[in-house]
Amino acid sequence: MMGLFGFGTLYGKLSTERVSQFPKETLEAARRNIPIYKRYRHLLSENCFHLTPPVGSPEGWQAMEFCKRDGSEAVVLAFRNESAQSLYALPLKGLDTGMRYRVESADHRTSVTRLGAQLSSEGAILDLPKPMMSEILFLTPA
């Protein structure tokens, strides 16, 4: 759901591609994630920053940030992939260095307040204990 939202269907062609035929777990995951997507979809047309190379960092992580042009709000989408490294610091871009931000995990595991200058220099620290985990961070004015 990074750049667009939807279920790729070929209506009528393959019954396995019909949303009504998706496994129960897939439908439950969609129900959980649609409200999260709606929280940041307005940022997808703003500034976009690759926080790691498009193919991923040498450590295996991938991350992108979508930030309002005035730096007032941002979202970070991070993926650990198969990395053996569970902690990763992502220096953020496009933020107002003098502004205080509330940095909130999408699943509400964490919420901290930091200055834009700190987030730009020290980065947001992600801790994903298992490979193939992902995280969404919301940055809003504190």
CA–CA dist 127, 66 (Å, integer): 20
Bridge partners of residue 141, in order along the sequence? 101
CA–CA dist 79, 93 (Å, integer): 18
Class of domain 47-141: mainly beta
Q: Would you place residue 112 in the very low, low, confident or very high pLDDT band (cuts 50, 70, 90)?
A: very high
pLDDT tens profile 59-100: 889 999 999 999 999 999 999 999 999 999 999 999 999 999
Whether 67 contacts 44, CB under 8 Å: no
**What are the structural domain ranges in the chain?**
47-141
| pTM recorded for the entire structure | 0.84
Instruction: Please measure the distance between the N-terminal and C-terminal CA atoms of the chain and give it in whole angstroms.
Output: 26
DSSP 132: T
Q: Of 65, 140, 71, 68, which Cα lies nearest the Cα of 101?
A: 140
Please give the pLDDT value at position 1.
44
pLDDT tens profile 10-24: 555 555 567 777 788
